[in-house]
Amino acid sequence: MPPATSAPILVVQSAEASAADAAAIADLCGSQTPEQTSEHAWRLRGTQRRERVAAWCETRRLDHAWIPEGRRFADLKLLAMDMDSTLITIECIDELGGYLNIKDQISAITSQAMRGEIDFPESLRKRVALLAGLSEEVLQDVYDEKLRLSPGAQQLVERCKHHGVALLLVSGGFTFFTERLKERLGLDETLSNVLEIEDGKLTGRVLGGIVDAGAKAAKLRQLARRLGAKPEQTVAIGDGANDLKMMAEAGISVAYRAKPVVRAQATHSLSYSGLDGVLQLFDHGKIAG
């Protein structure tokens, strides 16, 4: 039997969303009884009023999304994501700067680049130059001591593997980290920058071309073409301005704890949920089952 309505489904979630929140939003928008789909996520059908939902959710630090009926995670073929501040919680280059007591200086440049205020390749060259002379051993220290997966990352990766969705990690960061994450998580492909190292120390230069916004988008296009994936079968997740071209290539784009310029252009935005919140952006996308 076809669904009773083709109206969009409202998804409400956050790391701390409660049944009381779901009941309140149902009353606000005049929907059917909320359907709980994970510990902190609800799906509402048959909504009558939409105009106050966004402001209400933002005030209560809830993510909300309007999703089409019948869009299934199992139908995807490719999921691409950024690394720093997306798959992982840190900006690796900022943490490297901490070993030279210039983390704040590098972080300020990183933030400008992520907001789209300065050219990404220029910003990367400037930041990497500040790392000249740093021991390559520090790279391993950052990986071991600082690098942590974002909340929900493991669940998202596992769901992709369960459904045979190819995983692409594209980063303006460095191969030292992307290759280790590829092996650790069983990712299909990665693309990132190569730090030049001589005599055990960073030279302050990047080898080859820089992975910028255009390179990220091109990699997604290339892999989607190889997989025979239609746009609606692709998802891209990012947080900074250098992810926007890649996100525009995907049929579904998710701004994850992202800068305003990215949230404004993405299909969906997750500011208060973990990466497993991506699963809730699909009908029948329960965490379990």
Buried b (16+ CB within 10 A) or exposed e, 237-264: bbbbbbbbbbbebbbbbbbbbbbebbbe
Same-domain status, 126 and 196:
yes
Residue 284 is predicted with a pLDDT of: 61
Pair (59, 146) in one structural domain: no
Q: Is residue 80 part of a domain?
A: yes
Are residues 65 and 41 both part of a single domain?
yes
Q: What are the CA-CA distances from residue 105 to residues 123, 208, 258 (Å)?
A: 12, 25, 21
Residue 107 in any domain: the answer is: yes
Residues labelled catalytic: 82, 84
- Position 60, amino acid: R
Which pLDDT value is given to residue 4?
45
Same domain, 37 and 117: no
Give a yes or no: residue 202 inside a domain: yes
Looking at the structure of the chain, the number of domains it has is 2
Same domain, 30 and 168: no
User: Domain check: are 39 and 126 in the same one?
Assistant: no
Q: Give this prediction's pTM.
A: 0.93
Q: Of 29, 51, 69, which closes a domain?
A: 69
Range of the domain at 163: 75-281
Whether 246 is covered by a domain: the verdict is yes
Question: Of the candidates 31, 46, 69, which is a domain's last residue?
Answer: 69
Q: Could you tell me which of 267, 272, 245 has the C-alpha nearest to residue 255?
A: 267
- Kindly give, in sequence order, each residue whose CB lies less than 8 Å from that of residue 187, ignoring residues fewer than 6 positions away: 157, 167, 168, 169, 181
Q: Of the candidates 46, 69, 92, which is a domain's last residue?
A: 69
- Domain assignment present for residue 200? The answer is yes
Note whether residue 261 is domain-resident: yes
Instruction: Looking at the structure, tell me whether residues 146 and 37 fall in a common domain.
Output: no
Q: What is the identity of the amino acid at 254?
A: V
Q: Are 50 and 130 in a shared domain? A: no
Whole-number pLDDT of residue 285: 42
Within the chain, residue ranges assigned H as helices are 19-29, 53-59, 92-98, 103-114, 120-129, 137-145, 153-163, 175-185, 213-227, 244-249, 260-263
- Residues sharing a CB contact under 8 Å with residue 147, sequence separation 6 or more, in sequence order: 88, 90, 92, 95, 177
Is residue 3 domain-resident?
A: no
In angstroms, the CA 201 to CA 257 distance is 33
Domain containing residue 111: CATH number: 3.40.50.1000
The answer to whether residues 45 and 68 touch, using CB atoms and an 8 Å cutoff, is: no
Q: Return the closest-CA partner of residue 40 out of 68, 58, 54, 61.
A: 61
DSSP annotation string for 93-114: HHHHHHTTT-HHHHHHHHHHHH
- Taking alpha carbons only, the member of 214, 197, 215 closest to residue 206 is 197
What's the order of all strands across the beta sheet hosting 9-13?
35-38, 41-44, 9-13, 63-67
What per-residue confidence (pLDDT) applies to 6? 67
Q: Are 143 and 126 in contact (CB under 8 A)?
A: no
Give the DSSP per-residue string, 251-276.
Answer: SEEEEES--HHHHTTSSEEESSS-GG
126 lies in the same domain as 265? yes
- Give every residue of the chain whose pLDDT is below 50, as ranges: 1-5, 285-289
Same domain, 107 and 194: yes
Q: Is residue 286 part of a domain?
A: no
In this structure, the answer to whether residues 251 and 148 fall within a common structural domain is yes
Q: Do residues 54 and 84 share a domain?
A: no
